[in-house]
Each structure stands twice: as C-alpha cells, then as structure tokens.
C-alpha cells in the first residue's frame, strides 16, 4: 500500500537525492564561485542512483524484506557519498586558504536519516504482519 509512512520517507529521499543536488553547491572554488555537483559525473551518478533506489523501494511495498534490503543498500550508498565529500572537503578550494564548504554536503546526511526512519517503519510493518500471522 502506498499510503504508509515509509512511502513518505522514501519519496522525500528520492526528491532530495534526485533534485536538490542540482541547486545546492558543495563548496566554493578559488575564485569564490560556487562548485556544483553537476560538473562531477561521479557525484551525479551517486545521487541519481540513490534517488532511483528510493523510487524502486516505494513500489516494492508487497515485498517488505526486499524493500528493507534496498533501503540498507541505499544507506550504504549515501555513506559512500558522504565519505567522498569528507575526503574532498579539505581540497575543495585548491588553495592554502580556508575553503568554504557548501550546504550541498549535508544532502547525504538528510537522506540517511530519512532512509533509517523508512527502514524502521518497514521493520515495524513486518513485525505487525508476523504477529497477525501467529494469531491465525
């Protein structure tokens, strides 16, 4: 059923990971120009992959175990993306002055939080179905 709370969480994750990265910079360059993720194909692919996984998870509502596993894979993908940002953050500017990080670096953190909440709701639904099956 598409009206469950995990659908809202997964839809928010897909929206954030699929659209927000286009508009938010992840840092500031040497000339004080904003650096966007659209110039980095690796980052672009990771964000699009995260959004696609979240959308696929929404429509797998009949198979909660697979939905839970895809949520975990998406969490791992966002942790890898966060790790890339942490690795690149000291060298964003390319100069010796203190570089400014952009707000786009927190997108994976928001996605991880939403995915954890979705997985918690999926697990809760699975436990509810198991308890009802025991009563039959």
For the entire predicted model, the pTM comes to 0.86
Instruction: Report the number of distinct structural domains present in the chain.
Output: 1
Distances (CA, A) of 34 to 4, 78, 91, 99, 104: 38, 22, 14, 11, 11
Task: Give tens-digit pLDDT for 86-107.
Answer: 887 766 555 544 456 777 888 8
How many DSSP H helices and E strands does the chain contain? 5, 2
Over residues 32-49, the pLDDT tens digits come to: 777 788 888 888 899 999
CA-to-CA separations, 129 to 70, 101, 124, 133, in angstroms, rounded:
20, 45, 9, 6
Give the range of the structural domain holding residue 84, as residue numbers without chain letter. Answer: 5-135
Tens digits of per-residue pLDDT, 54-86? Answer: 999 999 888 989 999 999 999 999 999 999 888
């Amino acid at each position: 059923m598409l009206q469950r709370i995990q659908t809202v969480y997964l839809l928010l994750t897909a929206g954030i990971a699929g659209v927000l990265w286009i508009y938010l910079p992840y840092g500031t360059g040497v000339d004080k120009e904003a650096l966007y993720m659209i110039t980095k194909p690796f980052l672009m692919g990771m964000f699009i992959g995260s959004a696609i996984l979240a959308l696929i998870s929404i429509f797998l509502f009949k198979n909660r175990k697979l939905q839970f596993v895809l949520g975990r894979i998406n969490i791992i993908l966002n942790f890898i993306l966060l790790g890339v940002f942490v690795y690149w953050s000291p060298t964003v500017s390319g100069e010796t002055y203190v570089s400014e990080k952009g707000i786009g670096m927190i997108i994976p953190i928001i996605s991880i939080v939403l995915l954890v909440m979705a997985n918690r709701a999926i697990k809760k639904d699975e436990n509810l179905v198991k308890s009802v099956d025991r009563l039959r």
